[in-house]
Structure 1
Amino acid sequence: MRGRDQAVDIAGLDGAWNRSWPECPPEARRLRHRFPERWARFHALPEGKRYATSDAEHAEILRRHHALLEDLLGDATVGDGGLVAITCSWSATGSPTPRDSTVAATTPGAAHWRSDDLATEPGFHSWWHFYVSAMDLRDPALDRLLLCVADDMTDGVILTEPACAWAVHPYDGGVDVFAESIGVRDELVSAYAAWLPSTLQGTNGSDSGSWEEVEQRSCPAPLVVPDVERGGPVQTEGPDAVTQLPRGALEGGSHLLHGQRRPLLGDGTEMPGVGLRRGGPGSGGWCGRP
């Protein structure tokens, strides 16, 4: 059955995830920190270009994701339920909230799986609500979801298979792969060496120091501006994150650029260096990354 959501065995998925990724929620930053030896990063476009600006570039993004997923799936490449898609909503409480309409449209029948408070600062709550649906590589919903991510219309997506032996995190600009083993990770790195970050070009990808440099260059943690603050103090989750936006940063509203919502100052000019996204991690206001 393709083109609509398929049911996922929630209890089976829960057990499989906990066996493969013990004491780790299905969230990419924590997977990178908890299992760095199984992690590899690949660019979605040549020369590390972040956003597609043509149909051909969107097609290249899909081609790269499908190639990696086919290698990971192996004999299970085609078939009902070969993939499990994990999507998210966020809130300040533990009660599951609906997903953003854009991502919900790609997997409308997804079922709530689990909720985790992933806040790292005292006094804050950052609940992630994970929803799951089954699909396979030929399901049109997969491409819709991947392009939704590529155009920065959602975040926090994880793709895996029913046994959760591996996990894939597509993001705007690339894909993080968490392989079943170090050996599988190294095979992927060798097979797709041309897609590696520039710091790893010409290497076999097994140098842990090189991957640490890639991690350090990863996007900083999201910042959150509660709607009621309208440009006041923001939540941070890392030493490099911005701690405050100027007063009036949202007085002019916002607009979309490359799929990201940018804050506008009162005079209508764009505040440089900060992207905002509705409904992301944190308190439920605007969120984004500098």
Structure 2
Amino acid sequence: MSEPGAVRRPTPSEVAAFDAAWTRNTGTELPYAHWLRATCHERWVRLHSLPESKQYPDTEAEYAVMLTRYLAELDELRAGADDLWVVTSSYSSAARPVRRSAALVELLPRPRLWRSFTEDDEDEEYRIWTHHYLSVVRRDGPELPRLLRLVADEVVSGVMITVPAATWVHHPYDGGADLILPTTAERDRIAGMFTDWLPAQGFPGACLTGCVHS
């Protein structure tokens, strides 16, 4: 269970401000984590979480490498911010929000609902709704490493980490992370800082490689 004060529930006014910032900075009304690399293509870079692009850690030493990489990326992005905003999700066949998985409820209790949305047409017989929740997490608290391990083990998916102004987004997944930066210049700076963690084929628009990442 989380320690008292380690995880905070954002206020409704904070969520409203975040919602406006998200739309302003990502330009999408449907905040699917896996859509970010398309909607923000020119500001996107992908970094792998293990050497030689290995997808899953098998040992505690590899988990340590994975965590070190994730946290190094976040530390560079957060620019000293102590609090990080974490997006987690639940899924249902109706618009009514449903409870998140037991692992998320234990780790990040009492989140604030952000959005419920679907990309399916109203005429479709079966529609999948995504319900996004927001939690504020301390960078130096125990929850962030535990969350990243759940992501690496595919226990949870669709996690996004950012700040209230949503000027950048870190979307960890099993095997790496998609990063959305404020500008293409910042994308190139981050890619240059973590060159050894880039996919072998580089990233879109990369001045470092000249290759296009698939």
Task: Please report the TM-score for the alignment, with normalisation by the length of structure 1.
Answer: 0.67
Q: Is the 8 A contact 2:7 2:138 kept in 1?
A: no
Structure 1 segment 196-207 matched on structure 2, within 5 A: 196-200=198-202, 204-205=207-208, 207=210
CA RMSD of aligned residues (A): 2.1
Q: In the alignment, is residue 44 of structure 1 matched against residue 46 of structure 2?
A: no
1:33 to partner: Cα distance: 1.2
- Per-residue displacement from partner, 1:102-126 (whole Å, max 9, x unpaired)? 2222211212111110337961412
**Counterpart Cα distance in 1 of 2:140 and 2:19:** 25
Q: In the alignment, is residue 112 of structure 1 matched against residue 113 of structure 2?
A: yes
Equivalent position SS for 1:50: coil
- Per-residue displacement from partner, 1:172-201 (whole Å, max 9, x unpaired)? 110000111111111111110100111129
**Counterpart Cα distance in 2 of 1:108 and 1:159:** 16
Q: In the alignment, is residue 127 of structure 1 matched against residue 114 of structure 2?
A: no
Equivalent position SS for 1:84: strand
The higher-RCO structure (CA 8 Å, 6+ apart) is: 2
**Counterpart Cα distance in 2 of 1:153 and 1:118:** 23
1:3 to partner: Cα distance: 6.1
The one-letter code sitting in structure 2 at the alignment partner of 1:59 is A
**Counterpart Cα distance in 1 of 2:175 and 2:5:** 26
**Counterpart Cα distance in 1 of 2:170 and 2:29:** 15
**Counterpart Cα distance in 2 of 1:62 and 1:102:** 19
Task: Please report the TM-score for the alignment, with normalisation by the length of structure 2.
Answer: 0.89
- Per-residue displacement from partner, 1:75-120 (whole Å, max 9, x unpaired)? 32xx2xx210000001111100101112222211212111110337
Equivalent position SS for 1:56: helix
Structure showing the higher helix proportion among its residues:
2
* Count of equivalent residues: 206
Stretches of structure 1 that go unaligned for 5 or more consecutive residues are 214-290
**Counterpart Cα distance in 1 of 2:202 and 2:122:** 33
Q: In the alignment, is residue 20 of structure 1 matched against residue 22 of structure 2?
A: no
Q: Which has the larger Rg?
A: 1
Q: Is the 8 A contact 2:7 2:137 kept in 1?
A: yes
| Match among 32, 37, 49 for residue 37 of structure 2 | 32
Q: Is the 8 A contact 2:43 2:180 kept in 1?
A: yes
Hey, what does 1:185 align to over in structure 2? 187
Q: Is the 8 A contact 2:6 2:138 kept in 1?
A: no
**Counterpart Cα distance in 1 of 2:28 and 2:79:** 27
